[in-house]
Amino acid sequence: MNWIVENMAEGNGDWLRVRGIGRERFAGYVGDFLASVGYAVERSEATEPVETRMTCRLQKMSPALPPAAHSLQFRLYPTSGGAALVWEAPTDVPDDQRSRMDRFVREIEGHLTRAVATESHATAKVVRPADPHLPWTSAARSSAA
């Protein structure tokens, strides 16, 4: 089953992966961080395929976040030894908002890396795939080619 899920992931484009903890726990870290910066987070679980879906709506406005980040969607699925996080929405970020969105993405990555390492006493870690997939960056790459 994990082979099927991991091969499914190849086409879906992981944004981040975690080793050493499961999907539900990783979803908790993602949700806790987003709630702390002002998002209302809704989680739903599915069994076929096994995944967690997260829908996040910004309720506490922040000038640091671009309008494109007011509604976020993620999907998490199990991998052998951990879990993967797929960024599903927004899929397009206007050029004038891209620097703020990229900064927010780096903030999420940094927080998750620190939180997972701290809570697991460094037995688990967040890993960026060789080619992390964010929808707006792949769209920019394909239009430039």
Residue 145 falls inside a structural domain: no
18 near 82, Cβ under 8 Å? yes
CA distance 138 to 131: 10
Residue 142 falls inside a structural domain: no
Q: What is the pLDDT along the chain (145 residues), one digit of tens a residue?
A: 333 334 344 444 789 999 999 899 999 999 999 999 999 999 999 888 889 999 999 999 888 899 999 999 999 999 988 999 999 999 999 999 999 999 999 999 999 999 998 887 778 889 888 777 788 875 444 444 4
86 near 75, Cβ under 8 Å? yes
The structure's pTM equals 0.82
List CB contacts of 145: < 8 A, sequence separation 6 or more.
none
Residue 33, token pair as written in the block: 């961080």
Residue 100 falls inside a structural domain: yes
Q: How many domains does the chain have?
A: 1
Q: Residue 125: enclosing H or E segment and its boundaries?
A: strand 125-127
